Amino acid sequence: RKEEELDSKDAIILHQFSRPRNGVPSLSPFCLKMETYLRMADLPYQNYFDGKLSPQGKMPWIEYNHKKVSGTEFIIDFLEEKLGVNLNKHLGPHERAVSRAVTKMVEEHLYWTLAYCQWVENLHETQKMVSLFGPFSDLLKWIFCHLTKGIVKREMYGHGIGRFSEEEMYTLMEKDMRTLAGLLGDKKYIMGSTVSTVDATVFGHLAQAMWTLPGTRPERLIKGELINLAMYCERIRRKFWPEWHHDDDNTLYESEESSEASKTYSPLRDFSFYSRTETFDEEGNSISQTPDTDYTGHSLFDSDVDMDERDHEQCK
């Protein structure tokens, strides 16, 4: 098939995997991280679901002014330099160091245990979510998922974490998730009341446990003992993904006032260019939206998922 010509002049072209069938933007925590970051930074971008890996064999990757950049860390550095965006400008040196340490824990450690759960233990459920079309789609999905399973197991073994037993791997996963829950506490975001780059990373990974691993230990943990992480995921989803609604949503994290209104929603759209300061109604017409309101029109501060610091003081 002849490749489509892309013009990335003054435009961010985000290459990533196709949307899965369960309403979640991506089964890849790194693709979800990158797209969430672009929304947090309010940078218009265009999705390109070609499935083509970067020259380094990475996904996601971007094109901007005909330059290709892969690896989410390098992409963010590149955008900061070229466009002057910086979600970490409010952080001091100590906070930046903590933020980087958390990022590496999530991407180099927690990631592998979640990948094991997604592509090895829970492969049957993951296969249902993969989006492939055509007369042989079921066969292609089976082949793709089992190839991915083999790749994940091989790379986990090379990493070292795959040499432990399943129970030992889940013990490590629970330690990482409890560390995140302890660091978050009752704060709005990981580093305080203002969103920063580490939130895109943490959300991209925790969203997999929250919405793509039904019945598994990570899901039971995040929706049970570590409920503050579930509230954190809901908070970010409602603020930066106004069109994302999950069929199995649990209204436990929402107020009674917003639970009825949340049943009406617009599905995930693949916008030509997206900016989080705008959203669209069901006919595709642009409607105004402030960053502190969700897709139902309710303030994010009306629900217990998004209490500000004054609310905490009053509770005390």
User: What's the pLDDT at 278?
Assistant: 43
In CATH terms, the fold of domain 12-246 is Glutathione S-transferase Yfyf (Class Pi); Chain A, domain 2 (1.20.1050)
**Mean pLDDT for the stretch of residues 87-99:** 96
Query: pLDDT tens across 24-51, in order?
Result: 999 999 999 999 999 999 999 999 988 8
User: What's the pLDDT at 6?
Assistant: 64
Task: Read off the pLDDT band of 274 (50, 70, 90).
Answer: low
Task: Report the mean per-residue pLDDT for the chain.
Answer: 80
pLDDT-wise least confident of 204-208, 231-235, 255-259: 255-259
pLDDT-wise least confident of 195-199, 237-241, 311-315: 311-315
**Mean pLDDT for the stretch of residues 134-161:** 89
Neighbours of 76 (CB within 10 A): 23
Give me the residue spans of the domains in the chain: 12-246
pTM for this entry: 0.78
Sort strands 12-15 and 45-48 into parallel, antiparallel or unpaired: parallel
**Cα separation, 47 vs 143, whole angstroms:** 26
Q: How far apart are the first and last CA of the chain?
A: 63
CA distance to 3, 47, 59, 60, 223, per residue, from 17 (Å): 16, 10, 8, 8, 27
**Mean pLDDT for the stretch of residues 103-125:** 94
Residue 250 has pLDDT above 80, yes or no: no
Neighbours of 309 (CB within 10 A): 12
User: What's the pLDDT at 268?
Assistant: 57
Helices of type H across the chain: 29-40, 72-83, 93-105, 111-116, 123-129, 137-159, 166-184, 197-211, 217-222, 227-240, 256-261, 309-315
The highest-confidence range among 91-95, 143-147, 250-254, by mean pLDDT, is: 91-95
User: What's the pLDDT at 8?
Assistant: 66
Please say whether the beta carbons of 114 and 208 come within 8 A. yes
Give the 3-state secondary structure of residue 279. Answer: strand
Encoding tokens for residue 63? 């094109």
- Find the largest Cα–Cα distance for the chain: 63
